[in-house]
Amino acid sequence: MPRPRLRSRTGTAVIAATAVLGSLLTGALPSAAADGPAPVAVDRFEGEVPFANPPADGIFTRGGDADDQPKLAIKERADAPEGSKVLEGSYDISGWGGMSHDFAFDKPAHDWTAHKGVRFWWYGQNTAPLPPGSGKRINFEIKDGGANGEASELWTTSFTDDWEGWHLVEIPFSEFKYRTDYQPVGGIDQVLGLKEMWGYALTLPTGAPGSFALDGMELYGKAEPALNAKVITDAAVYPVAEGATAQVKLSVATTGSGPIDEPVTVEYTTEGGSAESGKDYAPVTGSVTFPAGTASGDSHSIAVATKKDRSAESAETSPLKLTVTGAKAPAETPQVVVNAHDLPYLDKKLPLKKRVADLLSRMSLAEKAGQMTQAERNALKSQGDIASYELGSLLSGGGSVPTPNAPEAWAKMVDSYQLRAQATRLQIPLLYGVDAVHGHNNVIGSTIMPHNIGIGAGRDPKVSEKTGAVTAKEVRATGIPWDFAPCLCVTRDERWGRSYEAFGEDPALVTAMDTVINGMQGARNGKDLDRNDKVLTSAKHFVGDGGTEFGSSTTGSYTIDQGITKVTRAELEAVHLAPFADAVERGAGTVMPSYSSLDILGDVQGPVKMHANAEMINGVLKDRMGFDGFVISDWKAIDQIPGDYPSDVRTSINAGLDMIMVPTDYQDFTSTLKDEVTAGRISQARVDDAVARILTQKFKLGLFEQPYADTTNLNQIGSAEHRAVAREAVAKSQVLLKNGGAVLPLKKSQKVYVAGSNADDLGNQAGGWTVSWQGSSGKITTGTTVLEGMKKAAPGAEISYSKDASAPTDGHDIGVVVVGETPYAEGIGDVGNGNDLELTAADKAAVDKVCAAMKCAVLVVSGRPQLIGDRLGDIDALVASWLPGTEGDGVADVLYGKRPFTGQLPVTWPKSEAQLPINVGDASYAPQFPYGWGLTTLGKAPAGGETALKAIGLAAELLQATGQGKSVQGRELVAKARLIVQQKIGQNVTEASAKPFANADHLLLTGDLSGAVTELTAAYRAA
């Protein structure tokens, strides 16, 4: 799912910064609000505070070791938000590291009690916009009380770097929490007093190099009342069946968890809401007092009894108004909700269509508009907006995760949102969605599958289905019923930053791997969707996103992603539409259009944004293909349609979109949609069709009966059973491109020298869309690296490791060099956008050194081919390892022969970047390795040469004639012919042999066994 256009976020930042800067006097900080104290500068970073170590007043770095300490400098900058200078820093932290400012130990501590919080300017480093809360996390702490800055009490909070350019970060003191993992003096009183402040500190993110800039740190605002106690409720919404009693639990809590100092009184009364006092519930009025000395966490329950009137009705609310003395009141008024009951749409025994029709007939335009809206969960102004705006769906964008990022926390988070939907009149449950594109990849500890490109290399539809089933089981266990997967793009140019999201370059291969939909959803008719191990799928991106022309993108610095796909109508049908037709047949519940534009050559329309393409969405997808699910937009994608925002809304809805991933400004979208319908520019019939499609899927998912997480399978997330499926998929994805002298498989008796940037890096081998949107290097989740897998596979072997191959190479039998890419996602990874297809200088040096010293096997861990032809003669064995995910054991399995190499290239491996795009079926086709290439260690090639090929051809004709063209036996038969041909070609791949060889694999995937053998025979003769 892409993000908004870069220039949109950049433009917003510039406008915001200009407005703020325009209000500043030169060298002055922002002025105070009329009713608050003047801001007080903490650091202006003009050089007035030196770089110095305690006990002197100064800024200093810290870290787990010397390498973890950032490099700092005061620099003059024309764009400095305050004054003329800023603090700049760069870092590359493997353990922990950051910077601190300690105030002088020989002077009095600072008093911050008059202010609301601390704020500062931060220069965001994101070159693409991110959903709120999903950028790199920076921890910020303040030093309270004690003797000095290094013997004080630490209070911490954090913010995320979600923007590009200068941004004002405001942190109220109420957001700081007492650090429980480390305290320099063991803690003092665990009360944030603010009267004796000794400084602040920043802890920077790990896993990848980064930089930052900081300016104008100051205290702002008027202090909140000094109340150390607060009253909390255990929920904001209390749904109960008619006639049942709700128990509203009130608890008292204190800063530091000590007993309360003064009495706390809570007066309560049922007041307002849609429920009628005396008729729907028994009114309640009274008070509760927590005496001084009451322990933090003590609670009292208030019972609100509802009444049974035996008539069918929608949900009704009764707020419990709380007036608190002596403590902070709850942030929200709790609501008791009498559940909707005895209405036809709630009757599971009724036919699905009748339930949908009944519910639709009861809905207002506002409720329908809410169902057509999907918001990012971090964009909610408050969770109460779920009910206020009748929202139908929420999502977590890449990296938008709960704290802690653990399965249990995900389930609780989703349940908390679902609870809010119960406060609506019709209690229509939310449909929560997430990008689980290779396993439940946002969740730390989940099973991370190979990316789709590796699944395509495995050529096993059953494995594809099994990976989908595991993913669905882990996603649904966290309460999420909807996965924005699979990507059914056909990648036609590996310069595309999303090419690893495709199963391959051949529509026949992508279609063959569509079995992942069966694994995720179950039966085609959706009867399995209410199971606790199935999820709704989203076939994306409709249509042609894998065929965008290099240089056609207008999104920021992207070169190809979100660009223009220029094809004939015949090419469109054969290449890009085919996998979607199959997905519809398999019952995919939703479809997501592409960000790209489609330009059908020969018509007069020119490029049309897919989100505005009524011909393709209404005409082809819904009418011709018979798609009966709903169409969900991509992230803020309708904003890219030409015209103003009302035009974007009506154009996209009228083109066939049913739900819009807003994702942030849900208020404006719902208001605009209602206005467009009222004005008649969007018909009521179009809205009813959209909402009916959405409701149908919610009913199929069983959300009306079970909206909350079924955590039965929570312990299966990351389980050994699930990792075994991923391990099998990894082993099958490994493509052996060269194996001179039968170097592979390795022998456990050999002394192995391991090197390269990707040998021992879990984040690199998992790639983008892992824990965060762009992914990151390092130990970012639970799993096994390639090196760790090798050591487990051969526990008695001598395996040494030197990442840069700087350690002596003497005395080793064989070298294994694991090289490749670092993570990226979407257009950020486009070639030309700071990326190319070359190995890094360090990786090249490692390959050169190891392969010059001993026999060597080079593994390329990447999402697309890397240009390695100039080194191919010095490499004994070459493996395309793709992006295996968390199970490095699967790579080790084939390296040590526990499993055979059986993978085949899902894309053509080019000789040079100038050859791109290059694909099976091209008129000119002279690659380094052709599509479908893949040596095996399963067994030797059959003897007999062309005579054997003729015999295989006869057997192929017989199988095909009996309807077994796509059978396992048919694939195995053609595999024997492929081995014969590959043995003859060796490393002497020519255009004459490559073209028919690649064509053969395409024909095999279509079920044409005889044609495949004929093409392989032609390749044999040309070799």
Place of tokens 């004709």: 957
Q: State whether the Cα torsion 323-328-332-334 is positive or negative.
A: negative
Q: What is the C-alpha separation between 669 and 645, in angstroms, rounded?
A: 9
Could you write out the DSSP letters of every residue in 614-666? HIIIIIIIIIIS---SEEB--TTGGGGSSS-HHHHHHHHHHTT--BEE--S-H
Alpha-carbon distance values, 266 to 247, 261, 296, 973, 1015 (Å): 16, 16, 15, 79, 83
- Alpha-helical regions (H) of 140-212: none
Q: Pull the structure tokens for residue 437.
A: 């594109």
Catalytic residue among 102, 826, 889, 1015: 826
Question: In the structure encoding, which two tokens stand for residue 360, read together?
Answer: 């639709």
Beta bridge partners of 124: 165
- Angle, to 10 degrees, between the axis of helix 684-700 and the axis of helix 352-362? 130
Rg (CA), the chain: 31
DSSP, residue by residue, 474-489 = HHHHTT--EE---B--
Determine contact, residues 97/108, Cβ cutoff 8 Å.
Answer: no
Q: Does the active-site annotation cover 634?
A: yes
DSSP H or E run through 812? none
- In the block, tokens 């903490």 appear at 42
Residue 734 near residue 905, CB atoms below 8 Å: no
Residues facing residue 60 across a β-bridge: 100
d(CA 523, CA 481): 16
User: Cβ contacts of residue 388 below 8 Å, gap of 6+?
Assistant: none
How do beta strands 855-861 and 877-880 pair?
parallel
The SS3 of residue 136 is strand
Which residues partner with 72 through β-bridges?
89
Residue with tokens 């012919």: 977
Residue with the two structure tokens 């190979």: 450
d(CA 1014, CA 1006): 14
- Report how far residue 908's alpha carbon sits from residue 636's, in angstroms, rounded to the nearest whole number: 33
- The CA distance from 578 to 970, in Å, is 22
Find, among 973, 967, 978, the residue nearest to 1007 by Cα: 967
Contact 14, 563 (CB under 8 A): no
Of the candidates 144, 56, 153, 152, the one whose C-alpha atom is nearest the C-alpha of residue 105 is 56
DSSP 233: E
Helix (H) or strand (E) holding 251: strand 245-254
**Cβ-Cβ contacts under 8 Å for 715 (sequence gap 6 or more):** none
Whether 655 contacts 542, CB under 8 Å = no
C-alpha separations of 517 from 466, 534, 622, 876 in Å? 10, 10, 19, 39
Q: Is 788 in the active site?
A: no
Active-site hit among 46, 242, 634, 1001: 634
Cα separation values, 167 from 43, 70, 121, 136, 802, Å: 17, 21, 6, 15, 41
Name the nearest CA neighbour of 339 among 246, 233, 432: 246
Helix-strand-coil split of the chain, %, nearest 5: 30, 20, 45
8 A C-beta contact, residue 486 and residue 720: no
Which of the residues are catalytic? Answer: 634, 826
